[in-house]
A and B are shown apart, each in its own frame.
Chain A
Amino acid sequence: MTMSGAAQSIEGRGGFLGIPHRTAAALRHLALRGTAVVYLSLLVALPVAAVLTKGFGDGLDSFESAMARPGAWAAIRLTLWTSTIAAGINAVMGTMLAWVLVRYRFPARRLLSTIVDLPLAIPTLVTGLMILALYGPNSPIGRFFDDLGIRIVFTPIAIVIALCTVSLPLVVRSVQPVLQELDPAEEEAAATLGAGPRTTFRRIVFPAIRSAVVAGTLLTFSRSLGEIGSVILVSGNRTGKTLTAPVFIFQLTSQFRASEAAAVATLLFAISFVLVLVTTRILRTSGART
C-alpha cells in the first residue's frame, strides 16, 4: 500500500459514518481488491477451470475418444505445422519490417506502419474473406495459379497465408521498441571498422533483438494454434486434410460432444500456455538486461 505519511495523518482524524479515516481507507482498498479478484475469478478462472474439468474430469477417457475420431490427429498435426511455418515466416518478415520501420526514412513510412497494425483491428473472418476474394477460383490471381496447377484456397497454403496475415503485427511490435532503443552509433562504428551490413546485423543488431524476436515468434505460434476466424472460410475443412484443430473443436461442440472438445481444447491450451510462460520469462530476462 502506498500512502504517504502526510496523507495518513489526515486519515487519522474521525471520518465518514463514524468510521475512522484509516479504517475507511483500508475498507476501500479491500473493496477494490475484492472487486478485482471476483471479476477475474468469475470471468476468467472459472470458465478455464470448467473446460479443464470437463476434458479431464474422467481421466483420459474423453481425450482418447476424441483422438479416436477420424481426422483428429491429422487436425492437430495440421495446426502444429501450419502454425510453425507461419511463425517462421513472420519471424523473418516481422524482423525485417521492424528494421525498415525504425531505420529507414521513406515516403509512406507512417502508412506502412498503420497497415502493419491492420490485423489488430480487422475482424479475422473478414481477413479470411479477403483471401477468398483475392486467391479464390473466381479471381484473376486464383485463376493464374490454377493454370499453373497450384490450388491456394481450400488447401494448407491458404491456412498459412491466413495465419501469417492475422499475426503479422506480433513480431513487428515486439522487435520495434527494442530496435528504437538501440543506438545506431554501434552499428556505425562496426561499419566504420569495415564490417559489411550482414556482419553488422549478425554481430551487433541481432544479439540485441534476439529475445524480442523469439518472444514475438512464440506469440505468433501461440496465436496461430487457436486461430479460427480467418481459417474457417479458406481451409475447406476437409476431415483429415484441411481440418484444423480449432475447427475440429468447433465441430465436436456442435455435435454436443463437449467433453471430447474440451479434451482437445485443453491440449491446445497446454501447448499455448507453456509458450506464453516461456515468452514472459524471456521478456523479463531481456528487460532485466537493458
Chain B
Amino acid sequence: MSTVAKRGGRSGHAGILAACLVYVGLLLVLPLIGIVWTALKPGFHIVTDTLSAPDVQHALLLTVQIAVITVAVTTFFGVIVAWVLVRQRFHGRSFLNALVDLPFALSPVTVGLACFVLFAPGGWLAPFFDARGIRINFALPSMVLVTIFICIPFTIREVVPVLEEIGVDEEDASRTLGASVWHTFRKVSLPNIRWAIAYGVALSTARSIGEIGAVLIVSGLIQGRTETATLYIFRATEERQTPQAYVVALLLAAISIVLLLAIEMFHHRQERAMSSG
C-alpha cells in the first residue's frame, strides 16, 4: 500500500472499499445467489425435468446455431475489416471506422426493427427474397442477421489496436524473404493477433447467447420454431412457469461466467504477448 493510503487515514479508505463491496454485492453477488437459490429451490429434479423438455432443447439448439454462425461470420470478416482499417489508407476510411462503432450506439430494439423493416412487405430487400420464396423475418435468417449486427464491433475493436502495435516490420521481412501473402498472414500476423481474436470470439459468443432485444422483434416469438433460450426464459416468466425460466437462466449464467473467465485469460495472454514482443 502506498504512503498516500497510509496518510489518508485507514477509516476513509475502509469506507470507500466497503461502499464498493456493498454496491457490487447488492447489484451482482446477491442476485446471482438469488437465482441459484430460486432455481434449485424445488429440488434438483427440476433441472433434469426442464432440460429434457423438447421446447427447452429446441431453444438451446437454436441459440447454439445462431451463436456459431454469428461468431464465424463476425470473426472472419472482422479480421478483414481490422486489417483494411489498419494497413490501408483510402478515402472514406474514417467513415468505415465510424460504421464499426455504430452498433454500440444503437438499441437492440432498433436493430431488430431495422431488420424487420428491410424484409417486411414494402421493405427494400423484400421483393428480392419474396420472389425466391426465402423467408427472412420470423425465421432463422433474420435472427442471425440482427445478432451479427450487434456483434460486429467486438472482434474488430480487439484486433485493430494489436495490428497497430505490431507494425509492419515482421510482415515486410517475411515478404522480402519470398513468403507469399497468405503464408505471411498465417505465420507472422495471425500468431500476433490470435489472443485478440480469441477475446473477440468469447465476447461475441457471450453477447449472441444473451441477445434478446433484437430477436424479440424479428423472431415473431413462434414457440418451438423461433424461440431461442433467452426468448424461452422470457415466455416462461410471462406464463408464470417460473422454475423452468430460472433453470434455463441459471444455465445461461453459468455459460457466461465460463466465457468471462476465458475472456479474462485471453486478455492477460494478450497483454503478456504485447509486453514481451
Interface residues of A (CB under 8 A from B): 1-4, 6-7, 10, 25, 28-29, 32-33, 35-37, 39-41, 43-48, 50-51, 54, 93, 96-97, 99-100, 103-106, 112, 114-127, 129-134, 139, 141, 161, 164-165, 168, 184, 187-188, 191-192, 196-197, 200, 222, 225-229, 232-233, 246, 249-250, 253-254, 258, 261-262, 265, 268-269, 272-273, 275-276, 280
Contacts and interface: CB of A to CB of B under 8 A. Distances in A.
B80 A32 contact: yes
Residue of B16, B28, B31, B149 most packed against chain A (CB within 10 A): B31
Interface residues of B, number: 97
Given A115-B24, A126-B35, A268-B107, A232 B4 contact: no
Contacts of A161: 27
A120 B8 contact: no
Interface string B1-17: 11111011100110011
Interface string B246-262: 10010011001101110
B21 A103 contact: no
A197 B105 contact: no
Given A200-B4, A233-B237, 20 more contacts: A36-B80, A40-B99, A46-B118, A50-B118, A50-B123, A93-B23, A106-B17, A114-B264, A123-B252, A133-B37, A164-B27, A188-B3, A226-B108, A227-B107, A228-B109, A253-B116, A269-B106, A275-B105, A276-B105, A280-B101
Contact of B175 (A10, A35, A40, A232): A10
Interface string B198-211: 00000100100111
A4 B96 contact: no
Contacts of A2: 87, 168
A51 B114 contact: yes
Given A7-B176, A35-B77, A44-B102, A125 B249 contact: yes
A265 B123 CA distance: 17
B241 interface: no
Nearest to A247: B109
Given A125-B233, A126-B253, A265-B107, A40 B245 contact: no
A263 to B, nearest CB: 11
Query: Could you tell me the dominant secondary structure of chain B's interface residues?
Result: helix
B113 interface: yes
B145 interface: yes
Contacts of B20: 93, 96-97, 100, 112
A226 B90 contact: no
A278 B115 CA distance: 27
B109 A191 contact: no
B206 A3 contact: no
A144 B83 CA distance: 56
Nearest to A229: B212
B138 to A, nearest CB: 12
Nearest to B3: A188
A275 B101 CA distance: 13
A165 B206 contact: no
A114 B260 contact: yes
Nearest to A132: B237
B145 A43 contact: yes
Contacts of A105: 1
B109 A265 contact: yes
A248 to B, nearest CB: 9
Contacts of A3: 172, 175
B117 A54 contact: yes
A129 B246 contact: yes
Contacts of A222: 104-105
Contacts of B257: 118, 121-122
Interface in B20-57: 20-21, 23-24, 27-32, 34-35, 37-38
Nearest to B110: A265
B14 to A, nearest CB: 10
B210 A50 contact: no
Contact of B84 (A36, A47, A130, A275): A36
Interface in B165-217: 168, 172, 175-176, 178, 181, 203, 206, 209-213, 216-217
A226 B105 CA distance: 8
B85 interface: yes
Contacts of A127: 31
Residue of A33, A97, A233, A258 most packed against chain B (CB within 10 A): A33
B61 interface: no
6 contacts: A35-B84, A47-B111, A106-B17, A125-B212, A129-B245, A191-B8
A226 B107 contact: yes
A226 B172 contact: no
A108 B38 CA distance: 26
